[in-house]
Amino acid sequence: MNKRVAGTAALIAVAALILSGCADDGGSGGGGGGSIVVGSVNTISGPATFPEASQAAAAVFDAFNEAGGLNGQKIDYKALDDKGDPATATASARELVGSDGAVALVGSASLIECEINAKYYEQESILSIPGIGVDTGCFDSKNISPANVGPFNDMTLTLQYGSEVLGLDDICVLLEIAGSTRPTYQAAIDKWTEITGKKPKYVDDTVPYGASDYTPYIVKAREQGCKALAINPVEPDAIGQVKAANAQGWDDVTWLYLTSVYSENFAKAVDNAGAGIYVPAEFYPFTDDNDINKDWRALMEKNDIPLTSFSQGGYLAATYFIEVLKSIKGDITRESVSTALQDMKAIDNPMVGTPYAFGTQNTAGWPIILKSDTNAWEKVADDWLRIGE
């Protein structure tokens, strides 16, 4: 898995300054007998990338087209790269929505695009189903509804699992803050407090993305008497944090991480997982090879797409969209697609713990652990962990 979020603080800070304010004179989208244009805005190149989500969505749409499409009408999927750049994210949305006449956005995965483009999507009456929602804008716009849990609900879940299932006390929170995410992470912590009546022993929101050495932050947390650390890093940062604790001989700390560290690469890079590294996986654990993941896994392997949580999100977003598309009577237009998504019945899929309906947030994760004696991810639950349950 590539480095995901290094340097995003500056990117999102700039992004906040250029939130779209002018609506293009976009068309009503594809319809009639032509192709159905569907788009996505993704961070595919740059310092942190999410290529698997749009790749997975494209594979789903290709398979749909090969099977005949929607009564012979094919999906023309256009996945654009915003390069983690606010201006490019803005231009990409306008190209897809205004110039190409997309009927919807599906399978996006970007560091910044939700916050950048949310107002524009509202102005153009177009809806977006990101495969992976990352920034705050993905979760507070009526026109955007990600397939994944997202980092904020993931934080509540990992804290809840630590205190209520593992019975941990003295949980400390270390936050890597990008742009305007601090209040949203605080709301996630407050939600945990509301559910459990517990509070963090210590919170440090000064932990940087992409630091060369996390030793000072680890040492400070240990001095505060922390027994477990709930942290929201990307994979390379998490590796650095675990190695810093190993170097200090802190072998009894429990790590409560987010899905962002759940990868085979992370497992191979960690020599000592302390008392365990726990993650509430946003989708059914992709490292578990069973019937639940069978169709997704087969399609990803056929198209040489990495098996990750990110490709699960893109796959699900496209799968949801096709199911809704099939329910539409008459022409496929932006208006008919938006109406169908807003009126859709919740879709159950065993790869997720919350049935998907546009505008309903996913609030379930599947607890997994990386143990020192195996260096492999394993399930530690027989069912989904849900916020507040």
Is residue 27 within 8 A of residue 101, CB to CB? The reply is: yes
104-106/128-129 β-pairing = parallel
- What is the rounded average pLDDT of the residues 122-145? 97
Nearest to 233 by CA among 6, 16, 70, 2: 6
Is residue 79 within 8 A of residue 54, CB to CB? The reply is: yes
pLDDT at residue 25 greater than cutoff 90: no
pLDDT at residue 195 greater than cutoff 80: yes
* Residue pLDDT, tens place only, 1-16: 444 443 433 333 334 3
Query: In the structure, what pLDDT confidence band is assigned to residue 24 with cuts at 50, 70 and 90?
Result: very low
CATH architecture of 8-149+290-343: 3-Layer(aba) Sandwich (3.40)
- What is the rounded average pLDDT of the residues 76-82? 98
Query: In the structure, what pLDDT confidence band is assigned to residue 252 with cuts at 50, 70 and 90?
Result: very high
CA distances to 60, 265, 278, 353, 377 from 365, in Å: 24, 21, 11, 7, 15
Predicted local confidence at residue 373, as pLDDT: 85
Q: 356 has which bridge partners?
A: 347
Pairwise CA distance, residues 245 & 235, whole Å: 16
Q: Which of 19-28, 40-49, 180-189, 232-241 has the lowest mean pLDDT?
A: 19-28
Tokens of 332: 């496929």
Predicted local confidence at residue 258, as pLDDT: 97
- What is the rounded average pLDDT of the residues 242-264? 96
Predicted local confidence at residue 33, as pLDDT: 61
Count other Cβ atoms within 10 Å, centred on residue 257: 25
* Residue pLDDT, tens place only, 284-313: 999 998 899 999 999 999 999 999 999 999
The percent of residues above 70 in pLDDT, for the chain, comes to 91
Measure CA 27 to chain center: 29
Residue 139 phi/psi, 5° resolution? -115, 0
The percent of residues above 90 in pLDDT, for the chain, comes to 85
Question: What average pLDDT does the structure give for the chain?
Answer: 91
pTM of the predicted protein model? 0.89
Question: What secondary structure does DSSP assign to 247-293, as a single string?
Answer: HTT--SPEEE--GGG-SHHHHHH-S--TT-EEEEESSS-TTS-SGGG
- For 204, the enclosing helix (H) or strand (E) is strand 202-204
Tokens of 267: 């497992």
385-386/364-370 β-pairing = antiparallel
Query: In the structure, what pLDDT confidence band is assigned to residue 46 with cuts at 50, 70 and 90?
Result: confident
Pairwise CA distance, residues 104 & 156, whole Å: 30
pLDDT at residue 28 greater than cutoff 70: no
Q: Which of 145-149, 253-257, 287-291 has the lowest mean pLDDT?
A: 287-291
pLDDT at residue 218 greater than cutoff 50: yes
User: What single DSSP character describes residue 165?
Assistant: I
Query: In the structure, what pLDDT confidence band is assigned to residue 18 with cuts at 50, 70 and 90?
Result: very low
Query: In the structure, what pLDDT confidence band is assigned to residue 123 with cuts at 50, 70 and 90?
Result: very high
Select 151-281+364-386's CATH number: 3.40.50.300, 3.40.190.10, 3.40.50.2300, 3.40.50.1000.
3.40.50.2300
Pairwise CA distance, residues 116 & 19, whole Å: 5
Q: CB under 8 Å to 298, separation ≥6 — which residues?
A: none
pLDDT at residue 226 greater than cutoff 70: yes
- What is the rounded average pLDDT of the residues 360-375? 93
Query: Is residue 86 classed exposed, middle or buried when 0-12, 13-18 and 19+ CB atoms within 10 A define those classes?
Result: buried
Query: In the structure, what pLDDT confidence band is assigned to residue 327 with cuts at 50, 70 and 90?
Result: very high
Nearest to 204 by CA among 238, 179, 229: 229
Question: What secondary structure does DSSP assign to 356-388, as a single string?
Answer: B-TT----EEEEEEE-TTT-SEEE--SS-EETT
Is residue 53 within 8 A of residue 108, CB to CB? The reply is: yes
pLDDT at residue 124 greater than cutoff 90: yes
- What is the rounded average pLDDT of the residues 27-41? 74
Q: CATH 3.40.50.2300: which residues of the chain?
A: 8-149+290-343, 151-281+364-386
Query: In the structure, what pLDDT confidence band is assigned to residue 224 with cuts at 50, 70 and 90?
Result: very high
Predicted local confidence at residue 50, as pLDDT: 85
Query: In the structure, what pLDDT confidence band is assigned to residue 101 with cuts at 50, 70 and 90?
Result: very high
Predicted local confidence at residue 4, as pLDDT: 42
Nearest to 28 by CA among 285, 337, 248: 337
Question: What secondary structure does DSSP assign to 208-241, as a single string?
Answer: PTT-S--HHHHHHHHHTT-SEEEE---HHHHHHH
Pairwise CA distance, residues 134 & 127, whole Å: 17
Please give the span between the terminal C-alpha atoms of the chain, in angstroms, as a whole number: 32
